[in-house]
Chain A
């Protein structure tokens, strides 16, 4: 069966520090991978998606970047965090043909 792992679960970082959130998927090949941010416990904003190694599409210009160094690994990064980067970050995957998502358990990031 397929599983998705996302870590860390919570993170408190000072303004200006770097960020690296990792997401891995097991039990499938060539998944579509996604990073979403949820602010204030409500709406989800698509940040990045990837349909293959090294292929990243950015939906919203911002202080963050994403990379996909391996087929089942998706990393969200920042060189210098801003207060506005605080939020709940969710990784998700779908089969290459698309369809419904499976979400990770999320990372709550607080920038102080």
Chain B
């Protein structure tokens, strides 16, 4: 079965420190992976995607993600966190049924 998992419900980080939000996937074939961010009572906003090519993908707002095929992971990273990065982050996998399957979400809290 094709699935995506976010093992952490919440991640806390101090402003200015690097952040990592974890995502692992399970898929037969090549994965198409995405990261989205959701601010309170808002729709999801696209951050970045991995389709093929370079394992390090750069996205919006200074975020990047590293695709690791051997570890079946696609962790979201940022070198220096901002308080305004506090939000709910979703990893998603394109399952080939014309729809994305989302992880359960990870709440990022950046403390000033």
- B20 at the binding interface (Cβ < 8 Å): no
Interface size on A, residues (CB 8 A): 26
Task: Report how far A41 CA is from B106 CA in the complex, Å.
Answer: 11
With a CB–CB cut-off of 8 A, which chain B residues contact A41? 88
Contact A46 B94 (CB under 8 A): no
Given A41-B88, A44-B90, A90-B43; A101-B104 close (CB under 8 Å): no
Contact A49 B98 (CB under 8 A): yes
With a CB–CB cut-off of 8 A, which chain A residues contact B90? 44
The closest CB in chain A to the CB of B34 belongs to A100
With a CB–CB cut-off of 8 A, which chain B residues contact A94? 98
Ordered by A's residue number, 14 sampled pairs between the chains whose C-beta atoms are within 8 Å are A32-B98, A42-B88, A43-B105, A44-B102, A46-B99, A49-B99, A88-B41, A98-B94, A98-B98, A100-B34, A101-B44, A103-B43, A105-B42, A108-B41
List 17 additional A-B contacts (Cβ < 8 Å) besides A42-B105, A44-B44, A103-B43: A36-B102, A42-B88, A42-B104, A44-B90, A46-B100, A49-B98, A49-B99, A90-B43, A90-B44, A98-B94, A98-B98, A99-B32, A102-B46, A103-B44, A105-B42, A105-B43, A106-B43
